[in-house]
Structure 1
Amino acid sequence: MEASLSLSFFSLLCIFIVSFSLSSNFILQVRGDDPYRFFTWVITYGDIYPLGVKQQGILINGQFPGPQIEAVTNDNLIINVFNNLTDPFLITWDGLQQRKSSWQDGVYGTTCPIPPGGNFTYVMQAKDQIGSYFYFPSLAFHKAAGCFGGIRVLSRPMIPVPFPPPSGDFTILAGDWFKANHTDLQAMLDSGADLPFPDGLLINGQGQNGNTFTVDQELHIWNLTASGPRPNPQGSYHYGLVNTTRTIRLANSQATINGKLRYAVNSISFIPADTPLKLADFYNIPGVFTLGSMPDNPTFGDAYLQTSVMAANMREYVEIIFENRENAVQSWHIDGYSFFVVGMDGGQWTPASRQGYNLRDTVARSTVQVYPQSWSAIYMALDNVGMWNIRSENWARQYLGQQFYLRVYSPANSWRDENPIPRNALLCGRASGRRTRPLSL
C-alpha cells in the first residue's frame, strides 16, 4: 500500500511538471559550464605620445594601454586577436596559469606567431585563480611599443573574502619607457649594444606632465598588511611537512658571445628554435631541442648559445634557488605556475640557508625578485603538464637569452592531465602541413 501511494505521487508529480511546461512554454536549461566572456581585439600601429613626443605604438582596438580584462574565478576567456601589423605577433598572459593548456600561453616556445593579416582565438580559463595580472606582446621587442593591459580576476560571490569590500579598486601599470621606436631598440640589442637609460616612467600609459607639487612635511605612518593572490579554496597551509624531491639552482650572468652582449642562465644563453618547442614535442620532430640541455646547477663556465629545455615530471615538488651574482636586481617569472617564496638573503646560498626558510605563511606568486649579490628560494609543485617559459622580466635580458623552458611531462598522456592540441592551433616551422586533431574530438 505504501509503495502504491509513493508511485501514485511520483506519477502525479511527473504529470504536473509536463503539464506546467506545456501550458506555460516553460523551458528549463541547465548548464554545467563556467561563464564565457568574449573579446575581439584588432592589433594596429598608431601614434602615441606617452612622453610628449610622437612615437609609433601598438594599439588594441585603438587603445593605449589596452583594455582591462575583467573576469571571475573559473571564467572562460575567448579572445579573438586580429594581427593588422606588418610583423608576426603574440600575446602572453602573465600570471594566468593556463591549467592543462600551455597551448594558449602565447610565447614562441609554445605557440606559432599570428601572421600579418591573420588571426588567432585564445581559449583559456582563469581556473581557480583570484588576483591581478597583466598581458603584453611576447615577440621581438613589441613590449616596448605598448599593447599591454591589466587582468583582474575576482572571487566568485558565493565564496566570501576575509575582509570588507574596498572603497576603491584601481589597476596601476607602471614601467620604464623609451622615446626611441621599438624597432630601433631591438636593433641596438641585435648589434651587441646595451640599451640606454630609459627616458621616463609611465603609469597607466602616461608620463610626467611637468607639474610641481608642494607636500606637507608632517609625517603620517600607516601600518598596512598586504597579501597577494591566495589559493582557492582558501585555508591554512603549512609547507614544512612537504618534502621537496629536487633542488634546482639557477644563476643568471652577463656574457659576451661572438663579440656581442648576451645574458645566460647556468651559462646557457637561450636562442629560439625554428619551430615552437611545444609543437616539436607533440609531433616528435627531431633536432629542434635537446631535452635536459638545461642543467640543475650552475657551471660558472663560459656562456654558449643553445635552445635550452629542462626536463621535469608531473607531481614533483621542487625547490628552486635563483642566484644573482650581478650588481642589478633580477626579476624572474615562471609561466603556468604559482609558487611559494620561502626565503631570500644576501651572499651565496648553501644548504644551511634552509634553516631560515619561512615555511609557515609564505605567499603564492608567479614572479620573484632577487637582489644584487643575493639569492631567493621558492617551492613549487609541478602539477601542470606542458612546456613552460622561465624568464627574466627585464625584457632586454629575456631577449638576449636569460630564459629557458621547463617541460613538465606526464607518462599517462591523458586529457586528464593536459588538454589536446587546439583545433585552431597555428602550425609553422617544421610543424607546417601537419594536422591538429579531427573535428570530432
Structure 2
Amino acid sequence: MPLFRPVLSLFYLLPIIFLPSFCSAADPYASYEFRVSYITASPLGVPQKVIAVNGNFPGPPINVTTNYNVAVNVWNDLDENLLMTWSGIQMRRNSWHDGVLGTNCPIPPKWNWTYQFQVKDQIGSFFYFPSINFQKASGGFGPFVINNRDIIPIPFAQPEGDIFIMIGDWFTRDHAALRADLSAGKELGIPDGVLINGKGPYQYNATLVPAGIQYETIRVHPGKTYRLRVHNVGISTSLNFRIQSHNMLLAETEGHYTVMQNYTDFDIHVGQSYSFLVTMDQNASTDYYVVASARFVNESLWQKVTGVAILQYSNSKGPATGPLPDPPNDFYDKERSMNQARSVRQNVSASGARPNPQGSFHYGQINVTQTYLLKSEPLVTINKTTRATFNGISFIPPKTPIRLADQHKVKGAYKLDFPDRPLNRTPRADISIIDAAYKGFIEVIFQNNDSIIHSVHLDGYSFFVVGMGYGDWSEDLRGSYNKWDAITRSTSQVYPGAWTAVLISLDNVGVWNLRAENLDRWYLGQETYLRIVNPEENGKTEMAAPSNVLYCGALQSLQKEQHHGNANSIFKGHSKLFITLLMALLNVAFLHS
C-alpha cells in the first residue's frame, strides 16, 4: 500500500461512491466537510493559536480525479470572517467559487458555505488556504491533488505512493499580531523558523534547535520510488528544498508535466508546487535529512529559518547525524537560481487531462492582443499608511464582489481603469481592475524593482512563463522568449531587479485575482483583478451566480438568515435513494462486524 495516501471516513466516501450511480451529470462528484477552527499547537516549541481544518494542521488532502465535480462545505468556527481559495485550480466559467474578496463575500463566524466547482481538464499538485485577514500565516492550508483519469497514462512509471510535503516560513506570533504589525507600518522581521508538514525542525544542531520539538518523519521502503508533492505555503520566504544523498527527478508543476530532469536541490518560491520522483536507492545505515532553508537572505542571520524533517527507510539502522547537506553556493553566480527556473520546461509529448498532446497548442504562433507591464517597487506611504503597489496603485478590496456588483448594477463598486504601463504620478489606493478582452491573448511583464524576490499568481488560469532576466524589460527582449516548450503554471517568481514575462489566453470568463503571493505584499495591496466578460454571453461561457451566494457591501440587505447545510446538499432530489443505499451499507457493515 502507498504511504501517506489520504483516508476518507465512511461519511466522506458515501458521496463519492453513490452519486455517479444516480446523478444525471456525466462526471462524478466528491464532497468534503471542512471545519475551520483554532487549536493550540507548539510547532516551534512555543504554544500558539493555529488554524486547523477538521482539527488537523495542516488540513486533510482533497484527492480527486480530472473532471470531478467538487463540493467543499466550509464551516467557519473562527472569530472573524473567512474565505478559502484553491491555488491553481482553474474553475472553468465559475469565478463565483474562487474564494477571494473580489469574487466572494466572506463567510461570517458560525456560518458555513459550500464551494462547488469542477476540476475540468486538470491534473496535478495544488493546495488550498484561507485568503483573507492574513490567516494563512496561522495555517488553514492543505494539499489538493487531481489525478489522471484511467484512460490517460502518466508519463512515468506509477510510483509506490504520494508523499505530501508542505514547507513554509513560520512566526510564533499569530496572524492577528502579524497583520497588526503590517497595518502599523512595521516590517515582519526574520521568521522564527520553517515548518515541514506543520512541524518544527529535527534537532540537527543543539544550539539552533531546542530539544523537545516534534519533527516530521517520512517513512519509506528501500528501492521504491515515491512522488513527493512539495508546496511552499509560507508567508514570504523562498526556500531551497533538498534531500540528503538523494536525487530529485522533477516531473510536474502546478498541473503540467515537465521535461524530467534530476536536481540535487531546488528553489521553491512562495505559492509554488512541484512533484519530484525520488527513488530510495541509498544505504540504510542511517536516516537522511530533508531540508527546506531560506534563500536570498543573509544566511548567518537566518540560520534558524531552516526546516528539517527525517527520511527514514523501513530497514534504517540509526538516526541521521552530522551537518545538513549544503545549501546552494551562488554568492558569485547571480543567475544560478534563474537558470534553474529557466530549465523547467514543458513535456510537450505528454498528455495531461485530455487525450491530445499538450504540445498541440502552439502558443508561440498566436498574435498578442495587448501587453501589460506591471511594475512593483519598494513599499510606499499612501494616506499615512504603508502600502504595496502595482503600477503605483495599491488595491483596496471591493465591499461588493465585482461580478455580483455587475449583476445587480451596483454603481461605483470598482473602476475599469488599471493602467497597462507604470504612470509617472503619485501612488494612490484604489479599486482599479483590468478590463481584459474575452478571447484575447495577452502578454504580462512583471517588473520587480523591489529589493525582495516576489511570487506572482493568477487565479483561474495557467500562463506560459516565456522569459525572465535581470534589468529592465524592453521590447527587444521578446527575441529571448521561449516560444516552444515554456512551462505552463499559475505562480512564478520575479527576482529583485529583474523581470518575468508570461503569456495568457483569456478563454475563462469571470473575474480573476492577479496578485503578489508574498502574503505581506498582498495584504498591503499588491493585487488587482482581470474582469473577463463575453459580450455575447448566452449562459454557456459563464455560470450564473450560485443559489447559495452570500451578499455583502451594497447588497447586504439581500442576505437572508442562513439555514445550515452541508456538502451533501448536492444529493438534492435523490435523498430517498441515498438514504436507502446508506441504510443498506450500514446493515452490511453491521453484519460483518
TM range (shorter): 0.7 to 0.9
* 1:197 to 1:418, Cα distance in 2 relative to 1, 3 A: same
- 2:116 is equivalent to residue 140 of structure 1: no
Displacement of 1:82 in angstroms is 1.1
Cα contact 1:193–1:260 (8 A) shared by 2? no
* Alignment gaps of 5+ in structure 1: 1-27, 214-218, 437-441
Tell me how far apart the structure 1 counterparts of residues 457 and 91 of structure 2 sit (CA, whole Å). Answer: 14
**1:293-327 residue CA offsets vs partner (Å, 9 max, x unmatched):** x1111125321110121101210000110101122
- 2:148 is equivalent to residue 155 of structure 1: yes
Tell me how far apart the structure 2 counterparts of residues 222 and 69 of structure 1 sit (CA, whole Å). Answer: 28
Displacement of 1:362 in angstroms is 1.1
**1:178-202 residue CA offsets vs partner (Å, 9 max, x unmatched):** 0012111111111111211111001
Cα contact 2:152–2:353 (8 A) shared by 1? no
1:201-212 to 2 correspondence within 5 Å? 201-212=194-205
Question: Residue in 2 aligned with 1:384?
Answer: 508
Question: Residue in 2 aligned with 1:232?
Answer: 353
Question: Residue in 1 aligned with 2:498?
Answer: 374
Question: Residue in 1 aligned with 2:386?
Answer: 261
* 1:223 to 1:86, Cα distance in 2 relative to 1, 3 A: closer
Displacement of 1:145 in angstroms is 1.1
Tell me how far apart the structure 1 counterparts of residues 478 and 488 of structure 2 sit (CA, whole Å). Answer: 18
Tell me how far apart the structure 2 counterparts of residues 221 and 211 of structure 1 sit (CA, whole Å). Answer: 18
Tell me how far apart the structure 1 counterparts of residues 100 and 248 of structure 2 sit (CA, whole Å). Answer: 40
Specify the code of the residue in structure 1 equivalent to 2:510. Answer: G
Specify the code of the residue in structure 2 equivalent to 1:362. Answer: A
Tell me how far apart the structure 1 counterparts of residues 509 and 45 of structure 2 sit (CA, whole Å). Answer: 45
1:120-131 to 2 correspondence within 5 Å? 120-131=113-124
Question: Residue in 2 aligned with 1:119?
Answer: 112
Question: Residue in 2 aligned with 1:21?
Answer: none
**1:217-244 residue CA offsets vs partner (Å, 9 max, x unmatched):** xx97958454432353241243221111
Q: Secondary structure at the match of 2:182?
A: helix
- 2:526 is equivalent to residue 402 of structure 1: yes
- 2:67 is equivalent to residue 74 of structure 1: yes
Question: Residue in 2 aligned with 1:439?
Answer: none
* 1:187 to 1:244, Cα distance in 2 relative to 1, 3 A: same
- 2:404 is equivalent to residue 279 of structure 1: yes
- 2:359 is equivalent to residue 247 of structure 1: no
Displacement of 1:89 in angstroms is 0.7
- 2:514 is equivalent to residue 393 of structure 1: no
Question: Residue in 2 aligned with 1:427?
Answer: 551
1:31-46 to 2 correspondence within 5 Å? 31-46=24-39
Report the count of equivalent residues: 403
Identity over aligned pairs, percent = 44
Residue number among 468, 484, 487 corresponding to 1:344 in the alignment: 468
Question: Residue in 2 aligned with 1:356?
Answer: 480
Specify the code of the residue in structure 2 equivalent to 1:312. Answer: A
Displacement of 1:209 in angstroms is 3.2
* 1:212 to 1:128, Cα distance in 2 relative to 1, 3 A: same
Question: Residue in 1 aligned with 2:413?
Answer: 288
**1:126-184 residue CA offsets vs partner (Å, 9 max, x unmatched):** 11000000110011111111110010100001111222112332121111000012111
Specify the code of the residue in structure 2 equivalent to 1:121. Answer: T
Q: With structure 2 as the length reference, what TM-score do the two structures score?
A: 0.66
- 2:324 is equivalent to residue 331 of structure 1: no
Cα contact 2:101–2:398 (8 A) shared by 1? no
Tell me how far apart the structure 1 counterparts of residues 22 and 43 of structure 2 sit (CA, whole Å). Answer: 49
Residue number among 407, 431, 438 corresponding to 1:307 in the alignment: 431
Cα contact 1:238–1:361 (8 A) shared by 2? no
Higher-Rg member (1/2):
1
Specify the code of the residue in structure 2 equivalent to 1:259. Answer: K
Cα contact 1:144–1:177 (8 A) shared by 2? yes
Q: Secondary structure at the match of 1:432?
A: helix
- 2:42 is equivalent to residue 49 of structure 1: yes
Specify the code of the residue in structure 2 equivalent to 1:106. Answer: G
Cα contact 1:192–1:259 (8 A) shared by 2? no
Tell me how far apart the structure 2 counterparts of residues 366 and 336 of structure 1 sit (CA, whole Å). Answer: 8
Question: Residue in 2 aligned with 1:185?
Answer: 178
Displacement of 1:433 in angstroms is 3.2
Tell me how far apart the structure 2 counterparts of residues 435 and 249 of structure 1 sit (CA, whole Å). Answer: 39
Displacement of 1:61 in angstroms is 1.1
Specify the code of the residue in structure 1 equivalent to 2:77. Answer: N
Displacement of 1:387 in angstroms is 0.9
Displacement of 1:32 in angstroms is 4.2
Displacement of 1:125 in angstroms is 1.0
Q: Secondary structure at the match of 1:171?
A: strand
Cα contact 2:194–2:201 (8 A) shared by 1? yes
* 1:272 to 1:220, Cα distance in 2 relative to 1, 3 A: closer
* 1:30 to 1:152, Cα distance in 2 relative to 1, 3 A: closer
Cα contact 2:447–2:494 (8 A) shared by 1? yes
Question: Residue in 2 aligned with 1:8?
Answer: none
Question: Residue in 2 aligned with 1:169?
Answer: 162
Question: More deviation in 201-210 or 365-374?
Answer: 201-210
CA RMSD of superposed structures (Å): 1.9
Cα contact 2:35–2:77 (8 A) shared by 1? yes
* 1:33 to 1:190, Cα distance in 2 relative to 1, 3 A: same
Question: Residue in 1 aligned with 2:192?
Answer: 199
Specify the code of the residue in structure 1 equivalent to 2:101. Answer: Y
Q: Secondary structure at the match of 2:403?
A: helix
Tell me how far apart the structure 2 counterparts of residues 227 and 53 of structure 1 sit (CA, whole Å). Answer: 36
- 2:433 is equivalent to residue 298 of structure 1: no
Tell me how far apart the structure 1 counterparts of residues 193 and 95 of structure 2 sit (CA, whole Å). Answer: 35
Residue number among 77, 80, 83 corresponding to 1:87 in the alignment: 80
1:208-223 to 2 correspondence within 5 Å? 208-212=201-205, 222=247
Question: More deviation in 126-135 or 160-169?
Answer: 160-169
Q: Secondary structure at the match of 1:286?
A: coil
Residue number among 540, 547, 550 corresponding to 1:416 in the alignment: 540
Specify the code of the residue in structure 2 equivalent to 1:372. Answer: P
Cα contact 1:266–1:300 (8 A) shared by 2? no
